[in-house]
Amino acid sequence: MFDRNKIIFNNRRSFKASNKKVNLFLSKLSEDAIQRLEIDKRKKNNVLEILAKSNIFVKTLEKKNIKTETFQTFFPNTINFNQKNMIINNNKLSAIDDEKIDCCISFFPAFAKSDLTFILKSIYRILKFEGKFLFLFFSSDSCSKLKKIFYDIFKTKFEDMFMPSPDILLLGNITNLMGYKNVVVDKSSYIITNKTPEDIWGFIRDLGVSNYLQNRNKTAISKINYNELREKIKLLLTEDGVITNKVSINYLIGTKKH
């Protein structure tokens, strides 16, 4: 389903990016995540970030003076292997001991449906009692106006043009079945502003979430279609002199209890 090489490419690019808008967005998501995880500031916490695309979450913890030892999993060849507490990613999380982690987080994880149950089971193993995990996914209605513009222009090529959004209620049910308690499915929306259509592409790329479907449409866009796309985006999404996109995020959270 997913192109592993494209995921590695995306992650490597996002780590190297210096996009201020992306950094601000991830900082905001990190602050929301910390609040939802209810991380105890009175003790030192072991935190695991799965398939990390940047160090923004780690830096946000530091800014809030939350005492943590943070571990991050990566695909091989994503970043320099000298990074401290870096763990090569696998669904078993085999490099991590049982009941070692206080909380686990992943921003826009690339999990195939067949892998999800396995990874949730592995997270349950490594979480301490009352430890929590939090996954952030784009919701199906995220950037809906932008997607409609693409659909109107590329009707015959629309399939697999955008990453599918997981069924968050189904994920919640699976999480319950895996033994997690206090399972919460929540949603928040954010307005992202850009000056040009090109800024939108840059935001998506630097966030590390550009399309990595194995069967994505790789056909080059004609110059005529590209110009039409740019003009429609500027015409239909401009508010108060800037291009706006409504980005919606689904939060899935669960707690380990015996």
Q: Which CATH number does the domain housing residue 137 bear? A: 3.40.50.150
Per-residue pLDDT tens digits for 185-231: 999 999 999 999 999 999 999 999 999 888 887 777 889 999 999 99
Residue 154's nearest CA partner among 200, 220, 235, 244 is 220
Which pLDDT score, from 0 to 100, does residue 155 have?
78
3-state SS of 27-95 is HHHHHHHHHHHCCCCCCCEEEEECCCCCCHHHHHHHHCCCCEEEEEEECCCCCCCCCCCEEECCCCCCC
**CA separation for the pair 187, 137 (Å, rounded):** 9
Which pLDDT score, from 0 to 100, does residue 114 have?
75
Residue 27's nearest CA partner among 207, 253, 234 is 207
Which pLDDT score, from 0 to 100, does residue 213 have?
87
pLDDT above 70: percentage of residues in the chain: 95
Per-residue pLDDT tens digits for 15-31: 888 899 999 999 999 99
> What's at 30, amino acid-wise?
S
**CA separation for the pair 212, 75 (Å, rounded):** 14
| Cut 0.85: pTM above it | yes
Per-residue pLDDT tens digits for 171-187: 899 999 999 999 999 99
Which pLDDT score, from 0 to 100, does residue 158 have?
64
> What's at 235, amino acid-wise?
L
Higher local confidence (pLDDT), 155 or 27:
27
Higher local confidence (pLDDT), 5 or 30:
30
Which pLDDT score, from 0 to 100, does residue 42 have?
85
Q: Which residues form the domain of 242?
A: 4-255
Q: What is the DSSP letter of 161?
A: S
**CA separation for the pair 174, 185 (Å, rounded):** 12
Q: Report the mean per-residue pLDDT for the chain.
A: 90
**CA separation for the pair 35, 199 (Å, rounded):** 30
**CA separation for the pair 208, 225 (Å, rounded):** 25
**Going by C-beta distance under 8 Å and a sequence separation of 6 or more, which residues neighbour residue 8?**
75, 76, 77, 78
Give the model's confidence band at 84: pLDDT under 50 very low, under 70 low, under 90 confident, else very high: low
Taking 70 as the threshold, does the pLDDT of residue 77 lie above it? no
**CA separation for the pair 74, 49 (Å, rounded):** 9
Per-residue pLDDT tens digits for 45-54: 999 999 999 9
Residue 60's nearest CA partner among 76, 82, 81, 37 is 37
Which pLDDT score, from 0 to 100, does residue 161 have?
82
Which pLDDT score, from 0 to 100, does residue 115 have?
83
Residue 26's nearest CA partner among 201, 200, 207 is 207
Q: How far is CA 222 from CA 66, 199, 219, 227, 247, in A?
A: 50, 20, 9, 9, 27
Q: How many domains are contained in the chain?
A: 1
